[in-house]
A and B are shown apart, each in its own frame.
Chain A
């Protein structure tokens, strides 16, 4: 595939991620921090997120499967997930965390419980889309092209 086609596919994918609300402006802030001195910054920080958020979500789900759910612990996990997703612009994940906390503050256990599956789903979607994005970046660079920057 030639470079310009790859770049076009990349731009289309990135644009759709913003349009669907999977990413927000914060992601562009991260891209702007990336330069020749820190060429892998976005990839690095998103990879950290994949690891840590993945682990948190697994813990969350396992906590909800206990007989006696430790809601304080669950809330702490969601709080951390909210912070990390907000830091990288993972808007949908951040938003589900926000919804969870609103239910938690109202002591609405069913509401909290109903957020867990969507949280997992949004994380899986986010992970697969960003992995596809990074794969395209690698292909573009390997083909000698430069990664198109998005301006908001």
Chain B
């Protein structure tokens, strides 16, 4: 597991994978994240995103849309929770209470409603720090 030295050049060291089948939304979110100093990788498919995540050590956090045709955000969240140790933030234009609760209950560290504001994205680096502090010592280094 990578160490916590990202705090030295926070948030510049943080690598984000953004998954959304909607190109427009994806482009906007990625531009906002880049403007905050994050290193961003885009992906338009849940399945492809999962494959990229399975290649260990590439990303510090995942942002995923909820409604996607091949694999939805909840399924992705479940896989990530079972197979790896990464914070997941969900994105959706759907603000239904039910889905927000579902996401958070299944381990998402946040659930953002589109259109997402830059200020909300600025904070995702904090989720990485919090997540690592919470999981430190649970996994072998």
Please determine whether A84 and B22 come into contact, CB atoms closer than 8 angstroms: yes
Residues in A neighbouring B118, C-beta threshold 8 A: 29, 33
Interface residues on A, range: 20 to 34
Map CB proximity to B onto A55-83 as digits: 1 under 8 Å, 0 otherwise: 00000000000000000000010011011
B54: min CB distance to chain A, Å: 27
Whether B117 sits at the interface, judged by CB under 8 Å, is yes
Q: Is the CB of A33 within 8 A of B24?
A: no
> B31 near A80 (CB under 8 angstroms)?
no
| B65 surroundings in chain A (CB, below 8 A) | 83
Contact B67 A87 (CB under 8 A): no
13 pairs, A vs B, C-beta closer than 8 Å: A29-B117, A33-B32, A33-B35, A45-B24, A45-B31, A48-B23, A52-B22, A52-B24, A76-B67, A79-B93, A83-B25, A84-B25, A87-B29
Q: Interface residues, chain B, CB within 8 Å of chain A?
A: 21-25, 27-29, 31-32, 35, 65, 67, 69, 92-94, 114-115, 117-118
